[in-house]
Chain A
Amino acid sequence: MRFIDEYRASDLSAYLAEQIARISVTPVRIMEVCGSHTVSIFRNGIRALLPDTITLLSGPGCPVCVTAQGEIDAMIGLSEIDDVIIVTFGDMLRVPGTSCSLMQVRSEGRDVRVVYSCEDALSIADANPDRRVVFLGIGFETTAPLIASTILSAKQAGLKNFSVFSAHKRVPEVLAALMAYKDLAIDGLILPGHVSMVIGKRAYWPLYAEYPRPYVIAGFEPVDILNAILLIVGQIEAKAPRLKNAYPRAVSIAGNKRAQEMMASVFQPSDANWRGLGRLAGSGLKIRRHLEAFDAEKIFQMHVSEQCELEGCDCGKVLLGLKTPPECPLYKKVCTPSYPVGPCMVSSEGTCGAYYRYAEK
């Protein structure tokens, strides 16, 4: 594949890995914020290429994994209304609520449909005029503009049976919350490529101003990730933390203005509950009042409980590198890949999921 193979080149990867090993002296912990980075690191076996001085931690950047238990319960509640069709991206199905997941209610016959693009939800609404279609708005600043555009299309088309339950989350806000943690053991962040494409490098300026550490925006191919690690390690060794865009082929300083405007016209910042991290100020997006005809929370007068995750879940500390998975009281006893509790287990490549499968051989 053109423009991809170059970033998967084995000789360049080997060179970057050598450079990292050559300059890395101080033991460091680097968090890859984004779930797609976690997947790429895992699939490409990048950890095996790194020296022992470098520990990679998987961050909170998988939007379905951080969706709070109370939000899932509310979605399941919606699916139990007779005329409702729930439309969602597929990976939401497995995330557990208090007593079950959307997957389970679907096996029990509730109408939960998987789509690959939010526009498909409009076609479903159009094809089922006597049913009410609720799209589950899950994701970061990458998916939020698309869903915003879908809401605007629904308005334009005069669709009366379409709404969105917005559980969107914002990346810079959660990062600020993480970096504010007083026992923090993270030396640098690999910042998400797709989210940064929308919000731009400048969205991280406040974060860098308040907590100056090595932050590198990176793409998702192995060469991108190894390069980001090399830059972070270099900054740490030189004691010169920088906010750096190492994905300039996709990310600009200002980001995608049109997507930002679209997002701002439909959503407003709100506090949000994160599985594993609790309630974080300004870290979510709710539908603006003038579009409340498309807001499932208003239409169905939804009560969303504040419950983030099962009591005892230590995912927050695992995410921050303060605890290892076996130190969590739920690990392996209650929380397993088949019945996950926290985001670190919900995501198959999350810290606990990976630890469960691979670490204890």
Chain B
Amino acid sequence: MVEHMKGQTMNDSVIHLDHGSGGRLSYQLITRHIVPVFDNPILKQLDDGAVFDIDRIRLAFSTDSFTVDPIFFPGGDIGELAVNGTVNDLAMCGAVPKYLSCGMIIEAGFSMADLNRILDSMRLAAKKADVQIVTGDTKVVPKRAADKVFINTSGVGLVPPGVEIGGHLARVGDKVILSGPIADHGITILINREKMDFESAVKSDTAPLNHMVYAMIQQGGGVHVLRDPTRGGLATALNEIALQSQVGIGIYEANIPVNTETSSICELLGFDPLYMANEGKLIACVAPDHADSVLEVIQKHAFGIDASIIGEVVADHPGRVFMKTRIGGTRIVDMLTGEPFPRIC
């Protein structure tokens, strides 16, 4: 048996796709292999971006790489995603995003027309988010050394004075706000990647959230945590907050919006919407006396019409997320353990 055990642990010697799924293995890769090497207090915060002072100016800095397949999908494309992704990571630090970089790794043979289409949608996304792409880099690699095109964007933003937002700042009593229906992006990518043969109007929710965040912060404080539940979904993002802040989080299934069609597809394929990716949603932990006014601000915004309070931060079970189900039961909501697969049973 012991010999077999060695066989099992050998699995740790290579990177698996699950290490990139945004769930537990990604978390382990980051916290066990990466953070200890670069070891510094800013990185250790494990937030969507880094916040630091340079000459008494507070800056947020973030980077993200985009390898989505397919590169064009209903509701957006890899270019729009790359701009919105970094804009949102900066916004989740409470920052006003200002400048972005764009690095592209392009597979030889990639269509020039497709590249132009992606660049144009980046231009439009940057305009919408009110940021500028001010530096960049291109590399072309041989066929099959990359899949069509990979994009990295980094960005800097200014953190307004007095803004103190981070994943470790959730407080017992905070209300948890979700800005709208979940799982649209994850389901869109999945059914288009696998070329599934059903008619569906589901489209990616990719959107820049910085203007909404700015309005939330301006309304008068109380916002402690912001996070965009991308890969790993709402469940994983809430778990990260619970761990970082060492609090429990209780949510109500009945309050979590999911579009009907998305919900039906999840049902059909056996997916749990809590674990599907989003690209235009945010979670906020807000002091109870500010929760209603923050919610109102979000709902006034085009990307937050269906926002709702989905739960609260509690002292019990620090580091854990649990959910009151529609029928009145209770379930623990864990981090994603691996890339979600459809079930056959």
| A→B interface (CB under 8 Å) | 1, 8-10, 13-14, 17, 34-36, 39, 42-49, 61-64, 89-94, 98-100, 103-104, 106-107, 114-116, 120, 138-140, 142-143, 194, 222-223, 310-312, 329-330, 333-334, 337-339, 341, 348, 357-358, 361
B40 on the interface (CB 8 Å rule)? no
1/0 contact trace for B267-300 toward A, CB 8 Å? 1011010000000000000000000000000000
- Confirm or deny: B196 has a beta carbon within 8 angstroms of a beta carbon on chain A: yes
A46 to B329, Cβ gap below 8 A? Answer: yes
Specify which of A45, A194, A312 is in contact with B324 (CB 8 Å cutoff).
A45
Q: Is the Cβ of A333 less than 8 Å from the Cβ of B345? A: no
In the complex, the number of residue pairs spanning A and B with C-beta atoms less than 8 Å apart equals 133
Contact between chains at A116 and B196 (CB < 8 Å): yes
Using Cβ atoms and an 8 Å threshold, which residues of chain A touch B326? 8, 10, 44
Q: What's the minimum C-beta distance from A321 to chain B, rounded to whole angstroms?
A: 21
The chain A residue with its CB closest to the CB of B272 is A43
Q: CA of A358 to CA of B329 in the docked complex: distance in angstroms? A: 15
Q: CA separation between A78 and B245, bound complex, in Å?
A: 48
Binds A, one of B4-12, B78-86, B173-181: B4-12
Residues of B within 8 A of A311 (CB): 1, 4
Contacts A90-B342, A98-B7: A338 and B24 contacting too (C-beta < 8 A)? yes
In the complex, what residues of A have CB within 8 A of residue B11's CB?
100, 104, 339
Check if A91 sits within 8 Å of B342, measured CB to CB.
yes
Say which residue of A34, A334, A361 sits within 8 Å of B345 (CB atoms).
Answer: A34
Report the bound CA distance from A17 to B328 in whole Å.
10
Contact present for A222 and B344 (CB under 8 Å): no
Question: Chain A contacts of B329 at CB under 8 A?
Answer: 13, 44-49, 222
Q: Select B341's contact among A35, A93, A142, A312, beta carbons within 8 Å.
A: A93
6 residue pairs, one from A and one from B, having the closest CB atoms: A45-B329, A90-B341, A13-B327, A45-B331, A48-B330, A35-B345
Known contacts: A8-B327, A45-B324, A310-B1. The answer to whether A91 contacts B344 by CB under 8 A is yes
Closest residue of chain A to B3, judged by CB? Answer: A311
User: Could you write out 17 A-B pairs with CB less than 8 Å apart?
Assistant: A10-B327, A42-B331, A45-B324, A46-B329, A62-B345, A63-B345, A89-B342, A89-B344, A91-B342, A94-B338, A114-B342, A222-B325, A310-B4, A311-B1, A334-B5, A338-B18, A338-B24
Give Cα A103 to B338, complex, Å.
11
Contacts of B341 in A (CB 8 A): 90-91, 93-94, 114
Say whether B171 faces chain A, with CB atoms less than 8 Å apart. no
Please indicate which of the listed interface residues B17, B320, B343 has the most CB atoms of chain A within 10 Å of its own CB: B343
- Complex alpha-carbon distance, A339 and B293, angstroms: 46
CA of A40 to CA of B10 in the docked complex: distance in angstroms? 34
In chain B, positions 213-264 with a C-beta closer than 8 Å to chain A are 260, 263-264
Selected from B4, B264, B323, the residue in CB contact (under 8 A) with A1 is B264
Nearest-CB residue, chain B, relative to A337 = B337
Tell me which residues across on chain B come within 8 A of A91, comparing CB atoms.
Answer: 270, 341-345
Q: How far is the CB of B61 from chain A (nearest CB, A)?
A: 31
B246, chain A: closest CB distance, angstroms: 14
Closest chain B residue, CB of each to CB of A64: B344
Residues of chain A within 8 A (CB-CB) of B194 are 114-116
| Centre residue among B17, B324, B332 by max chain A CB count within 10 A | B332
The answer to whether B328 touches A10 (Cβ under 8 A) is yes
In the complex, how many angstroms separate the beta carbon of A203 from the nearest chain B beta carbon? 18
User: Is A222 in contact with B327, judged by CB distance below 8 angstroms?
Assistant: yes
Docked CA distance A90–B340 (Å): 9
The residue of chain A having its C-beta at the shortest distance from the C-beta of B1 within the complex is A312
**B327 engages A44 (CB within 8 Å):** yes
Complex: how many Å from CA A65 to CA B56?
57
Please determine whether B328 and A13 come into contact, CB atoms closer than 8 angstroms: yes
Q: Is the CB of B327 within 8 A of A334?
A: no
Cα(A98)–Cα(B10), bound, Å? 12
Q: Which residues of B contact A357 (CB under 8 A)?
A: 332, 334
- The A-contacting residues of B in range 42-97, CB under 8 angstroms, are none
Decide if A338 touches B338 in the complex (CB within 8 Å).
yes
List chain B residues, Cβ under 8 A from A35. 343, 345
B25 within 8 A of A: yes
- A226 CB, nearest partner CB in chain B, Å: 8
In the assembly, what is the distance between CA of A311 and CA of B4, in Å? 8
Q: Give complex CA distance A1, B17 in Å.
A: 35
- CB-based nearest A residue for B12: A339
* Interface flag for B317 (CB, 8 Å): yes
A155, chain B: closest CB distance, angstroms: 23
CB distance from A37 to the nearest CB of B (A): 10
Measured in the bound complex, the distance between the Cα atoms of B80 and A326 in whole Å is 48
> B97: shortest Cβ distance to chain A, in Å?
34
Residue numbers in A under 8 Å from B338 (CB-CB): 94, 338
Name the residue among B267, B324, B344 with the largest chain A CB count within 10 angstroms. Answer: B344
Q: A39-B270, A64-B345 are in contact. Are A334 and B328 (CB under 8 A)?
A: no
Q: Which of A45, A115, A120 touches B327 (beta carbons < 8 Å)?
A: A45
